[in-house]
Structure 1
Amino acid sequence: MELVAGCYEQVLFGFAARPAESWTVVPDFTHHAHSASLSAVAVNNRYVVTGSRDETIQIYDMKKKVEHGALLQHNGTITCLEFYGTAHLLSGAEDGLICIWNTKRWECLKSIKAHKGQVTSLSIHPSGKLALSVGTDKTLRFLRNIECKKSVYTNVSCTDAHIIKWSPDGERYVTVITNKVDIYKLDTASITGTITTEKRISSLRFITDSVLVIAGDDEIIRFYSCDSQKCLCEFKAHENRIKGIYSFEREGQHVIVTASSDGYIKMWNLDLNKIKDVPSLLCEVSTKARLTCLAVWLDQASEMKENSEKAATSSQANEDEKLSIVKKKKGCLTDKSDKTAERKRKITPKKQKLEAPLQKKKKKRNSSA
């Protein structure tokens, strides 16, 4: 697996995370990704994409460790990126557009004027059939029929939210307004509870269908129950404000990854059966940069092979079931193309190998030869 993080210094970092008796994180590559600071990052089972203030989306093929190209559809800072399965990517930007990309051919299927101001956050429903977005025009908008060319956007409500997120089961969604989290029920679109913190919230993620991990303009990580709105646990994770949170499961172990303006990326072991206990620190690494965004790329091919071997000896079928669900979900979005948007999109054909931190000289020798 690979920890990928962007920073103000225009660099994309890659760190290989190696689980063993004790976790280790080692530098894998650094890449001067953009001509301005990085603002967003997203991953699927093959690609990492980054958005920047330079108005471009850069694509990296993690299987081959090369820069795959650039998408130039937006005008303005790329503010949010989210994959749906293996075939589609949604992007939002300062220009108020949400673009739906086919990741097989990297073409823009449609470009929708979602907000009068900039898009600040978007989230795709687990079914892949709809999405929510919020923007600086103080609206929360509902995109229906994503799989059709005639997508319908509905103005759900007026809100100053800057973050929106679906729960894993799709039964609820949350919005963040400065330091307040409003919890909505899908079937009624009504607020069922509110969580308030002391500082502005910059990152939020569902750990389970009903547990949120929240971080912001302080050094504290907090876990909250969506049902009771009570704080289940809190602890000091960094020396400066926290800019990104990511989570994943591996072999029954739930891992939280955090990135901070102090330059550190840290991995924590969370015991869901003892959610009130402070997570234990697995490992940490210093980037010596001002981090802005974070994601974790998982090599699903290796994961599938490992799971299949275990299933043969211990009859564990849960992982195979999860993988089959993921494969089915990717068909919820179709490949129908918006020809106008397709003409505007551009992919740079040049492929540049991601550079290992200690192999710069070697690369220069190879290029001169």
Structure 2
Amino acid sequence: MGDRVELVAGCYEQIVFGYRVCTSEKEWTAEPNFTHHAHTASLSAVASNDRFIATGSKDETIQLYDMSKKTEHGALLHHNGTISCLEFYGSSHLLSGGEDGLICVWSTKKWECLKAFKAHKGQVTSLSVHPSGKLALSVGTDKTLRTWNLIEGRSAFIKNIKQNADIVLWSPDGDKYAVVVNNRVDIYTMESAKIIGTIEFPKRISSLKFLKNTLLAVAGDDESVRVYDVTSQKCVCEFKAHENRIKAIESFTKDDFCVLVTASNDGFIKMWKLNLEDHETPSLLGQVNTTARLTCLSVWIPGEEKETAVEQPATSKTVAESPVPAKNKRVRITDKVIVEEETSSTKQGKKKKRQKVQ
């Protein structure tokens, strides 16, 4: 993997910023590396895997950027309305949720929509894929929390939560998940799907990040980040990070410590050195002023250097319009990755489909 890390942030001003993290003993700097202006409206979501950045916007498109070549890689057009959430599963799949209530599952090899299902009656506000790749959780403006069986492309469980939830997030071990409603985080256990604890935050919550399975960083409409012990729901660390509300938090591991990255409406992206054992107040490693109104953040870390054939996406909404699972296909799980097997009748039409997608 090496030491290369890039911070990627989107903003109201329609631009994606890329900054390369440069480390030294004295201070860390974030050097401007690229800007990407492919959207025609403000950005609402950004996600990354070991090669690509995907950005979602109010312009109804998902734009792709190939980080290995520093080039635009095309657009994914299937949603009607704002793209509200994006999440990669490994290097093989991208999941997207939108204002139209749809969740789409995209193959990153051919950039075609493998599945598109109506997930919520309102909009999808957040989704999270289980570490195994077998399940996904989603919340929407229909006051439900839904569990999706990604192997069969169908709903597995629906829970009414009486309020519209803003965020859903699996823990790294996949044994529990967090659901945010306004200024409250409910911690559920996967085993029983019941609430085992609740965290109360002073203001509306905008972002969550599991720093490890038992530690949760929370930020929102004030200047401070708070880190909570998930088991006791007690705040073990609190510090002022910005001069304005915090829009997004991310983290990565460097040497033997955790680096927490925060992005704010004040335009700053900041990197904080966090010790996950003693919970001391974090020290500021470095910062950069983007001078933009930031909305979303991702940390990009490259994978092993290998050239794999990746096709440009089709930019037509006609690709995979049918509800899923698609006809004549069955889905199985191999090495924790969702794959589709073709039946004999699909193979006959494979040539035609390939021409359409390329």
For this structure pair, what is the TM-score category when the shorter chain's length is used for normalisation? 0.7 to 0.9
Determine if the alignment matches structure 1 residue 272 to structure 2 residue 270: no
What root-mean-square deviation, in Å, do the aligned CA atoms of Structure 1 and Structure 2 show? 2.0
| 1:119–1:136 Cα contact (<8 Å) kept | yes
Determine if the alignment matches structure 1 residue 169 to structure 2 residue 173: yes
3-state secondary structure, aligned to 1:115 = coil
Q: Which residue of 2 aligns with 1:112?
A: 117
Distance 1:330 1:270 in 2: 33
Distance 2:130 2:85 in 1: 15
The 1:155/1:292 distance shift into structure 2, 3 A limit, reads same
Instruction: Say which of 113, 132, 139 aligns to 2:144.
Output: 139
Instruction: Say which of 209, 212, 216 aligns to 2:213.
Output: 209
Distance 1:72 1:181 in 2: 33
Q: Which residue of 2 aligns with 1:281?
A: 284
Instruction: Say which of 10, 13, 18 aligns to 2:14.
Output: 10
**Identical-residue share of aligned pairs (%):** 59
More strand by share: 2
Q: Which residue of 2 aligns with 1:24?
A: 29
Q: TM-score, normalised by structure 1?
A: 0.82
3-state secondary structure, aligned to 1:83 = strand
| 2:257–2:276 Cα contact (<8 Å) kept | no
Determine if the alignment matches structure 1 residue 242 to structure 2 residue 246: yes
Q: Which residue of 2 aligns with 1:263?
A: 267
The 1:185/1:212 distance shift into structure 2, 3 A limit, reads same
Instruction: Say which of 290, 294, 297 aligns to 1:291.
Output: 294
| 1:102–1:335 Cα contact (<8 Å) kept | no
* Aligned residue identity for 1:256: L
Task: Give unpaired runs (5+ residues) of structure 2.
Answer: 306-332, 347-351
Instruction: Say which of 216, 220, 224 aligns to 1:220.
Output: 224
Distance 1:257 1:281 in 2: 10
| 2:132–2:336 Cα contact (<8 Å) kept | no
Distance 2:155 2:341 in 1: 16
Distance 1:293 1:33 in 2: 16
Distance 2:206 2:335 in 1: 29
| 1:109–1:336 Cα contact (<8 Å) kept | no
* Aligned residue identity for 1:332: V
CA apart distance, 1:112:
0.5
The 1:20/1:335 distance shift into structure 2, 3 A limit, reads farther
Q: Which residue of 2 aligns with 1:186?
A: 190
Q: Which residue of 1 aligns with 2:320?
A: none
| 2:122–2:140 Cα contact (<8 Å) kept | yes
CA apart distance, 1:331:
4.3
- Deviation track 1:284-322 (CA, whole Å, cap 9, x = no partner) reads 0000000000001012327xxxxxxxxxxxxxxxxxxxx
The 1:54/1:65 distance shift into structure 2, 3 A limit, reads same
| 1:167–1:209 Cα contact (<8 Å) kept | yes
Distance 1:329 1:182 in 2: 32
- Deviation track 1:99-119 (CA, whole Å, cap 9, x = no partner) reads 000001100001010000000
Q: Which residue of 2 aligns with 1:78?
A: 83
| 1:92–1:98 Cα contact (<8 Å) kept | yes
3-state secondary structure, aligned to 2:304 = helix
Distance 1:114 1:163 in 2: 15
* Aligned residue identity for 1:152: S
- Deviation track 1:234-279 (CA, whole Å, cap 9, x = no partner) reads 111000000000001122221100000000000011011211x111
CA apart distance, 1:197:
1.2
Distance 2:192 2:134 in 1: 18
Q: TM-score, normalised by structure 2?
A: 0.85
Q: Which residue of 2 aligns with 1:99?
A: 104
| 1:114–1:153 Cα contact (<8 Å) kept | no
CA apart distance, 1:201:
0.3
CA apart distance, 1:24:
1.6
Distance 2:247 2:339 in 1: 34
